Copies of this chain bind each other. A is one copy, B any other.
Amino acid sequence: MKKHYVSAREVAERAGVSRSAVSRALTPGASISADMKARVIAAADELGYEINMLARGLLDDRSMIVSLVSASLGSPFMGMMLPAITERLIAAGYAPLLINIGTAPDIAEESLRQVVSLRSAAVVILSGSPPGTFIEATKRTGIPLIALNRDEPGLNLISADNRAAGRVAYRELAETSARICAVSPARDTFSMRARIEGFLSGAAEAGHAPPRIIRAAPPIADSGRADYAGGLALGPELIGPDGIADGLFCLNDHIAFGVIDAARRSRRAEAGRDFSVIGFDDVPMAAWEGYRLTTFRQDPHVFAEQIMSTIARCVDGEEEDVIDHLIPANLIARESVRHVG
C-alpha cells in the first residue's frame, strides 16, 4: 500500500526484460518479437499497468485532453451536446476537460491557464465568446481550436445551417399566417443573426415585405430563465386580437415556451389553433404535452461526429487550413403550427 501506481519499470522487472521493451510492446508497429511482446503484456495485465499520461504527454508536449469551453453549461442545448460529445471523445481515447467561462472573467483566465499548461490536444468552443486571450494563446501554442456556431476567421468552424432553417421557418409560417415576425433573445449571437438573415431572405423570395424582428428585453438577473421570461413578457403584445402577429419564429425553444404560456394566460389563445409558432433547438420539453412545439433540431451526434473528424484532421494531419462545416437543421413538425386549410 505504499507505492500506488505501477510503472513500466516494475512491469519490466516482472517480465524479466528491459524497460524499453515495455514501451515497444505497447507501441503499435514497434519492432519486437511476438514472444517478448506476449510476456510483457502478460506482466502488464497482472500488475494492472497503465501508461502514465502525464509522462507520455511530457515527451511531445501534447496530452490526450480535449478542452470543452462553454459559457452556458446548464443550458438545455449543452444538456444535449455534452453527452454526445463526451461519449465520442472518451471512446476515441480522449479526456474531455470542462471549461466554464460563464461567470467571472478572471475564471476564464484561470481556465485558459489550465488548458495550456495541461497541453490540451484541442480546444472546442461550444458556446459563448471566449476572451481574445483564448484565441491568441491557442494560436501561439499551436493548439487546434474548433468553434461551434460562431464566425471567427482563422479557426475551425462547425455550425448548424441557421440560414437555411430561417428560410424554411418563413415559408412554413407563410402557409397559414399573414402577420409574421421573428422573436430573438436579448443577447445577440452569430447563430441568431444567421437565423434572422435566412428568415428575411425567405420573405424576400416569397415577394413579401420584410417581417418584423422583435427582440426580447434583457434579463433582470437569472440567466437560466432569461429566454423564457423574455417570451412571456412579449407574448401579450404579439398574440391575440389586437396583437401584431399570428405567425412567430422564435429563435430558440424557450422563447417559444414563454410566448405560448403568455398567449394561453392572457388571451386564451392556443398555439397551433389561434396562431403558429416555430422554435429552435428541439429541447426535450418541446415534445411535451403542454407545448408540442414544431422546432428545428441540430443533431448533437452529427456535431459530435464532425468535431471528432476535425480533431483527427488537426492532430495527425499537417494541414494548416481550417475547415468550415455546415450541419443541417431539420424541422421537427409537431402541432404548434396551424394546418393548411
Interface residues of A, Cβ cutoff 8 Å to B: 4-5, 48, 50-55, 57-58, 61, 63-65, 68, 73-76, 78-80, 82-83, 86-87, 90-91, 93, 95-100, 102-104, 107, 110-111, 113-114, 116-119, 140-142, 224-225, 228, 232, 257-258, 261-262, 264-265, 284-285, 287-290
Q: What are 29 A-B contacts with C-beta separation under 8 Å?
A: A4-B61, A4-B142, A50-B113, A50-B116, A52-B58, A52-B117, A52-B119, A54-B57, A58-B58, A65-B97, A76-B79, A78-B79, A79-B79, A83-B102, A83-B103, A87-B107, A90-B99, A90-B100, A90-B107, A90-B110, A90-B114, A95-B97, A95-B114, A97-B97, A98-B98, A232-B289, A258-B289, A261-B288, A262-B289
Contact A53-B117, Cβ < 8 Å, known A96-B98, A288-B257, A290-B261 = yes
8 Å CB contact of A79 from B5, B52, B73: B73
Please tell me if the beta carbons of B119 and A91 are within 8 angstroms of each other in the complex.
Answer: no
Output the nearest chain B residue to A106 by Cβ-Cβ distance.
Answer: B91
Output the nearest chain B residue to A63 by Cβ-Cβ distance.
Answer: B54
Output the nearest chain B residue to A3 by Cβ-Cβ distance.
Answer: B61
Output the nearest chain B residue to A226 by Cβ-Cβ distance.
Answer: B284
Contact A79-B74, Cβ < 8 Å, known A68-B98, A225-B287 = yes
- A4, A48, A141: residue with the most chain B Cβ atoms closer than 10 Å: A4
Task: Classify the secondary structure of A's interface with B.
Answer: helix
Docked CA distance A102–B85 (Å): 12
Contact partners of A289 in chain B: CB under 8 A: 232, 258, 261-262, 265
